């Protein structure tokens, strides 16, 4: 009888631990922002989708799987937008999406660091960057500021008039 009660107590304790570390799938809200800039060009991507499974206390099972629609690029200049969607730059017809899939999320002080694979214009590269997570009740916001080198993904031509380093500023509000 004692063994039965011990087994029930152990299972109850495990269930309580797992109940508090369940990874939540967050719903991305419409007012997200994906901005890019360097000294020569800046703009936004207007269409973004993805799955964000994140829990502060369950980072080992948390993950990001996001996709940006290349054709949604907007630099504020119609001719520049058309050029950016063309074969020399993003080639939106052949490579319609920019994708990022995480493989690891770590806490780094008050912030976090995500590691994963970025796929752009058919090129896949490992990419790690810091992000913040601010929770407010049933909603939260993920923000990130980082840089990539466009030449690593064959975007544009090496040595062209657009600088190599592109700054990205991302804000993704979510709700449970």
Q: What is the pLDDT of residue 40?
A: 87
Q: What is the mean pLDDT of each run of 10 residues along the chain (176 residues)?
A: 50 46 87 94 96 95 97 96 95 98 94 98 98 96 97 88 92 96
Whole-angstrom Cα distance, residue 17 to residue 44?
41
- Give the C-alpha separation, 69 to 82, whole Å: 14
pLDDT at 168: 97
Query: Is it true that domain 23-175 has CATH number 3.30.200.20?
Result: no
Query: Any idea where the domains of the chain sit in the sequence?
Result: 23-175
User: For residue 161, what are the contacts with CB-CB under 8 A and spacing of at least 6?
Assistant: 40
Which residue, 73, 67, 81, 77, is CA-closest to 45? Answer: 73
Residues 6 or more apart whose CB falls under 8 angstroms from that of 14 comprise none
Residue closest to 76 by CA, chosen among 35, 115, 105: 35
Provide the strand spans (E) within 11-122: 24-28, 33-37, 42-45, 48-54, 63-69, 73-74, 97-108, 111-120
Q: How confident is the model at residue 2, as a pLDDT?
A: 58
* Cα 60 to Cα 22, 51, 55, distances in angstroms: 11, 16, 9
């Amino acid at each position: 009888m004692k063994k039965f009660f011990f087994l029930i107590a152990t299972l109850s304790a495990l269930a309580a631990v797992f109940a508090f570390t369940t990874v939540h799938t967050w719903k991305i809200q419409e007012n997200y922002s994906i901005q890019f800039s360097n000294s020569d060009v800046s703009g936004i991507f207007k269409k973004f989708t993805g799955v964000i499974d994140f829990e502060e206390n369950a980072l080992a099972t948390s993950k990001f799987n996001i996709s940006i629609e290349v054709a949604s690029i907007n630099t504020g200049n119609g001719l520049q937008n058309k050029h950016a969607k063309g074969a020399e730059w993003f080639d939106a017809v052949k490579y319609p999406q920019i994708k990022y899939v995480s493989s690891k999320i770590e806490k780094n002080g008050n912030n976090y660091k995500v590691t994963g694979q970025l796929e752009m214009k058919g090129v896949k590269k490992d990419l790690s960057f810091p992000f913040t997570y601010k929770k407010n009740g049933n909603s939260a916001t993920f923000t990130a500021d980082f840089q990539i080198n466009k030449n690593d993904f064959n975007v544009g031509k090496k040595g062209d008039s657009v600088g190599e380093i592109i700054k990205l500023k991302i804000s993704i509000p979510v709700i449970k």
